[in-house]
Amino acid sequence: MASKLFALACIRNESCRDLSPAPHYPSMPKYPKGVPVQENMEGSEAKALFSVLGMTCSACAGSVEKAIKRLPGIRDAAVDVLNNKAQVLFFPNFVNEETIREAIEDAGFEAALIKDDVDNKSVQTCRFHIKGMTCTSCSRAVESALQGINGVQNAQVALATEEAEIRYDSKIVSHNQLLEAIEDAGFEAILISTGEDKSKIQLKVDGVRTNYSMRIIEESLQALPGVQDIEYDPLLNKVSLSYKPDETGPRNFIQVIESTGSGRFKAMIFPEEGQHGSHRQEEIKQYYKSFLWSLIFTIPVFLTSMVFMYIPGIKQGLDSKVVKMLTKGELLRWVLSTPVQFIIGRRFYIGSYKALRNGSANMDVLIALGTNAAYFYSVYTVLRAATSMDFNGVDFFETSSMLISFILLGKYLEVLAKGKTSEAIAKLMNLAPETATLLTIDGHGNVVSEKEIDSRLIQKNDIIKIIPGAKVASDGFVIWGQSHVNESMITGEARPVAKRKGDAVIGGTVNENGVLHIQVTRVGSESALSQIVRLVESAQMAKAPVQKFADRISKYFVPLVIVLAFGTWLAWFLAGKFNAYPKSWIPSSMDSFELAFQFGISVMVIACPCALGLATPTAVMVGTGVGASQGVLIKGGQALENAHKVDCIVFDKTGTLTIGKPVVVSTRLLKNMVLREFYELVAATEVNSEHPLAKAIVEYAKKFGEDEENHVWPEAEDFVSITGHGVKATVQSKEIIVGNKSLMLESHIFVPVDAEEVLVEMEEMAQTGILVSINREVVGLIAISDPLKPGARDAISILKSMNVRSIMVTGDNWGTANSIAKEVGIETVIAEAKPEQKAEKVKELQSMGLTVAMVGDGINDSPALVAADVGMAIGAGTDIAIEAADIVLMKSNLEDVITAIDLSRKTFSRIRLNYIWALGYNLLGIPIAAGALFPSTGFRLPPWIAGAAMAASSVSVVCCSLLLKNYRRPKKLDTLEISGIQVE
C-alpha cells in the first residue's frame, strides 16, 4: 500500500491542489493509540512482507488482515489488495514468518515471504508473445507453469492478445528460464520486452570483426555515466543498452562507438519490425495459407461425395471397382483427405499432445478426436471394402477434411477479428513521428543550426523545432513561439489547446498553426505516450473477476463434451441395435452404427470452449482501447467490472469539483487610492512568498503592469512570512501587512466593521478574504476563490439521472464546503476531513452496501483512492504512471467520470451478451448435434456443418465485442459541449 500511496501523492500537476500544505503520511500505519512500544517486555520488533495471491476486493484484504491479527505477537498488519502484498509488524518471540504465512493460506489465499523489500529493485516485468493457445485451458496451463517457478511473483496470460506478462525476481530466475517453462508447457514463446522502468535503445554496429573490438566498444560505453546494462548479439551485430535518460542518451552512444577504433565502427538505430503487429500478421498469413491448401484438397473430396454422386456418368465412373468392393471414389477421397488430416491438420495433433501432456484438454483435443474418428473409421471401411466381396460401408472422409477446412477458416477469421481488438495500442504506438528537427542554441539563446534526426535519438533537455502540421516528437515545454496543438489522440480533447512559452506539450500530438521550440523533458519509457501504451497493455492483460467463471467451466468442458459425445454414440447405437426406433429413420446410405457415429462426432466438434474463453478478454480489450481514445484509461477488467456497479461517487473538492488554482475574483478598497498602486505594493510583498494565495495575487497584479510577462516589482525589505496567517514587509518605506483577520489582530491593527462585513460576505460565497494594511491601517480586501469547474453542476445532475449518488468530502472549512456543494447540487457534505478520514468515509459507505468510486486529484486523496472500489485520478495531465488509480482521467473534465462509468456499463453488458451467446450456443448446439430434433423433424446436423458452426461461434463472439468500437458517450455530454460548457 505504501508504494501506491506514494505513487498517488506524486501525481504531477501544475495547478495547486489545496490551500494548505499536504501532510506527510507514513508508509505503514502507526501503532494503535494507547499501546506503547515495550521492546523490553515483548522483545525486538520485526517486519515481514508477504506476496498474497487470490485477493480480488477489499473484503479479501479484510479477511487476510483479520487472519494475521488473530495470531499472538502481531503488532500491526497492512494488506494491499492492489499490489497483492501484506506487510506485518510482529514480535519474533511470539510468532514467526512461517506461522504468519500459514495463517494467510488458512484464510484461503496463496502466500509467500518476500525476503527483503529492498530487493524490490531486482523485481522486473517481462512480456512474451505465446503461440499455440486456443482456449482458456491453454492460457491456464501456461499460467500454472509460470506460477510454479520459484521467483515468479505474478503471471498473467491473456488469450485474446496471446501474451504473457510475468513479474519476477531477476536474482532468482531469468527471463530465459521463463521462456523455457512456457515451451515446456507446449507452447512457442517469443520475448517482447524485459526489465521495468528503464530506458532502452538498440543499436546496429558495423565494422566489428573480433571479440576484442566488441570488448573495447563495451568498455567505452560502460564508462559513460548513466549506462546500466549492455547486451551484444554477434549474429545481428546488435547492441542493447539500458540507461538513465537524465544522464546520457543514444546520440552519446553513437558518438562514443564511432569515435572508438579510429572511426572504423559505424552505429545506427537498429531497424524495428513492429513487434506488436508482426506476430499477428504472421499468424494471419499462416492460417490463410493453411486454409487455402486445405481447400485445394477438400473441394474435390466434397464434390466426389456430395455432388458428383448425383450426376449420371460421373457417378458410374466413381462407383467403378478397383479391388473387390473398393471404388475409385473411395480411393480418391482417401488419397485427397490424408494430407489434410496429417499435414495441414498437424497443428491439432501437436496442440492435443501438448495439452494432454500437461494434464489438460483443450479445443485441439476435441478436433483431433472428432476428425480422427471420422478418418480412421473411413480407412476401416476402405480396407474392409478392399478385402471383401459383399461389404457395403460408407466412408466419412469428407467429414474429417471439411471439418479441418472450416475450423481453419474460423481461426483465420478469428485472428483477423482479434487483431482489430488491439488496434488501440497500434494506433498509439504509431503516433510518435519518425524524425525530429534538433536545434543547436548558442550561449545567447540564438539558433545556430538545425538538423533532422531520428526521433529515437532525442535526449533529455534537447531543443526541438515543431513546424505547423508536424507531430510533437517528445514530451517537453515551449520555450519559444505560440500555436494551437491538437491533443485529441492522447487526451480525447476535441478542441485544439493554445500553447505559449512555458506550457507543457505531449509527444505524439499535432502542432496546428505556429512554429514552436520545445525543450524535451521526458524521453523513451518516461514519455506520456509510452506510459499510456504500457497502461493499456497492462489493462488488456488483466483478467476481470467474471473471467473466473469461464476458467472454471473450461476446466471441465472438454472432458464433459467427450463423455457426452461417447454417450450420444452409445445411446443411438444401442437404440438401433434393439430396434428402439423405426428402421425408416436410418438413411439409405448408412446403417444404425454409422448414424450413431455421426451423431457422436457432431457433438464432439460442435462444442466450443473458445467462445467462452474469448467472451471477456475481447470485450475488455476493445473497451479499454475505446476508453484510451477518449482520454479515459481503465486499468483492466477488474476496474471495468467494479465501475459498472458504482452507485455512489465521493468527490474531492479542490482540483476536482473546483479548478484547483486560486484566482483573485474581486477587490474592495476602503481608502481612496489607485488600484494599480495598491497592487504594486501588495504584489511586491507577496512575490517573496511561495503560498498559492500569494501566487494568485501576484498573477492578478501583473495585469496592471506594462510588461505583464517580466514585470519588476519594487524591492521589499524586512520580509517575514507567518505560516497560516500571511506576510509582512517594508515596501517604498511603507509597512505592508497582507493576511487574514488573525494576523491583523495579532499585529494590533484595528479591523473596521465594514471590513468584517465584507469578510462574512466573501465566506458565504466560498471565497477567501485577504486583508491588506498599509502603515498599520486596513486599506483594502482581496477576495480569492478556487472557481467551480464549468459544467460541474451539469455533471452531478447527469450522474443523478444515472442513479449514482454524489458526496463531497473536503479538508476545507464547512462554510466554503457547503457553499460549493449547494452551487454544484450535492446534498451530502463532509468538511474539515483529514486524508485518513476521507478513507474512513469511503469504508463507511461500503459497509452500507454501496459500490463506491472516489474521484480525486491524487495529492491528499491517496488513502481514499486506495480504499474505494474504484479510484479515479482526475486532472493527472500527462503524468499517468499511477499505480493506485483504477481509472485515470487524462483531462480535468468531470464529464469523463460519466464517460468512464457509462463505458464500463456498456462493456460489461457486452461481456454478458458474449456469455449468453457462448453458453447459449453450446446449450442449444450440443443437444441438436446429439439428435434431439431428429425423432420429431428428421433434422440432423452433419459433422462438417457442426464444425462450421463451432468455428463461427468464436468469430461471432469476437465480432460482438468489436461492436464496442462504435461506442458513443451519453448524448447529454454532447449537449453540454454544444451549449458551450467545456472544462478547460
Highest mean pLDDT range out of 144-148, 310-314, 561-565, 582-586?
561-565
Indicate which CATH number applies to the domain containing 827.
3.40.50.1000
pLDDT in tens, 101-158: 988 888 888 888 876 443 445 677 888 888 888 777 788 888 888 988 888 888 888 8
Give residues with Cβ within 8 angstroms of 636, minimum separation 6. Answer: 538, 539, 540, 541, 542, 543, 544, 620, 624
Confidence of residue 195 (pLDDT cuts 50, 70, 90): low
Distance CA 247, CA 560 (A): 60
Q: Are residues 412 and 288 in the same domain?
A: yes
Confirm whether 23 is domain-assigned: no
Q: Are residues 699 and 771 in the same domain?
A: yes
Confirm whether 735 is domain-assigned: yes
Q: What is the pLDDT of residue 866?
A: 77
Q: Are residues 394 and 317 in the same domain?
A: yes
Q: Are residues 503 and 651 in the same domain?
A: no
Indicate which CATH number applies to the domain containing 231.
3.30.70.100
Angstrom CA distances, 482 to 137, 487, 488, 513, 517, stand at 56, 15, 19, 9, 9
pLDDT higher than threshold 90 for residue 425: no
Confirm whether 976 is domain-assigned: no
Mean pLDDT of the region 446-453: 87
Confirm whether 39 is domain-assigned: no
Confirm whether 308 is domain-assigned: yes
CB atoms within 10 A of CB 524: 19
pLDDT higher than threshold 80 for residue 752: yes
Q: Are residues 653 and 794 in the same domain?
A: yes
Known catalytic residues are: 652
Q: Whose CA is closest to 11, among 653, 875, 838, 633?
A: 875
Mean pLDDT of the region 826-831: 88
Q: Are residues 310 and 395 in the same domain?
A: yes
Q: Are residues 336 and 385 in the same domain?
A: yes
Confirm whether 130 is domain-assigned: yes
The whole domain housing 912 covers: 545-618+905-966
pTM: 0.67
Indicate which CATH number applies to the domain containing 504.
2.70.150.10
Strands 510-511 and 483-486: antiparallel
Q: Which of 785, 819, 841 is the last residue of a domain?
A: 785
Q: What is the pLDDT of residue 617?
A: 83
Q: Name the maximum alpha-carbon separation found in the chain.
A: 128
pLDDT in tens, 628-664: 888 888 887 788 888 999 999 999 887 788 887 788 9
Confirm whether 623 is domain-assigned: no
Segment (H or E) for 199: strand 199-206
Distance CA 715, CA 720 (A): 14
Q: Whose CA is closest to 229, among 245, 248, 242, 247?
A: 242
Output the nine-digit C-alpha cell for 320. Answer: 467403378
931: region left, alpha or beta (phi > 0 left; psi from -120 to 50 alpha): left
Write down the number of H helices and E strands in the chain. 33, 36
Q: Which of 757, 785, 813 is the last residue of a domain?
A: 785
Confirm whether 774 is domain-assigned: yes
Q: Which of 114, 132, 165 is the last residue of a domain?
A: 114
- Cα first-last separation, the chain: 32
Q: How many folded domains does the chain comprise? A: 8
Locus of grid cell 458513443 = 968
* DSSP 8-class letter at 657: I
Q: What is the pLDDT of residue 38?
A: 34
Q: Are residues 653 and 691 in the same domain?
A: no
Distance CA 926, CA 944 (A): 14
Q: What is the pLDDT of residue 121?
A: 52
Segment (H or E) for 56: none
More confident residue, 429 or 172: 172
Q: Are residues 560 and 691 in the same domain?
A: no
Q: Report how far Cα 276 is from the mean position of its chain's Cα atoms.
A: 16
